[in-house]
Amino acid sequence: QVRQVKTTRVHPDFNMLSCESGIVLMQLDIPLEYNAAVRPVCLSNSTETLSSSYLCTVSGRGIIKENGSRARRLQQTRAPVLENEICERNYYFSHPGGIAARMLSAGFVSVGGQDS
C-alpha cells in the first residue's frame, strides 16, 4: 500500500544531537487497509520492564547500510533488547551524551545485522 504523509508531529522533547525522544507521529492522506501484512503497532504497558535479550520488533526509516542513506520505506525487524552499557560500548562510543535513561537499545552486537 502506498500512502502520502499528510502531517507529522515530532515529539516535543526531541533532541537532534542525542536523538532522545526520537519519535514522530505521521497522519496519512488515506487510512491503511489492515490485512495479514498490515496491522496496528503493539505497544507495551508503560510500566513493563523489558529485560536484556527480550526479542522485540523495531521499525523506522533509519540507515539501512553502514555509512549509507536512510530507507525510503518503513523498515521492520526483530532484535534483542540490549543493556545500555553494551549498546554504549558497541554503538555510541563516540556519540555525544551516550545512551540516556529513557532510551532503549536493541540489536545483534556480536554478529552485526539489524539494530535500533
CB 53 within 8 A of CB 28: no
Quote the pLDDT of residue 30. 96
How large is the average pLDDT for residues 16-43?
87
How large is the average pLDDT for residues 58-80?
78
pTM for this structure?
0.66
Quote the pLDDT of residue 108. 80
How large is the average pLDDT for residues 86-113?
73
For 38, other C-beta atoms within 10 Å of its C-beta total 9
Q: Which residue would you say has higher pLDDT here, 88 or 46?
A: 88
Residue 88 has pLDDT above 90, yes or no: no
How large is the average pLDDT for residues 26-37?
94
Fold entry, domain 50-115: Thrombin, subunit H (2.40.10)
CATH superfamily of 1-42: Trypsin-like serine proteases (2.40.10.10)
Kindly report, as residue ranges, where domains of CATH 2.40.10.10 are found in the chain: 1-42, 50-115
Quote the pLDDT of residue 56. 85
C-alpha cell at 59: 521499525
Residue 10 has pLDDT above 90, yes or no: yes
Residue 4 has pLDDT above 70, yes or no: yes
Residue 79 has pLDDT above 90, yes or no: no
CB 3 within 8 A of CB 29: yes
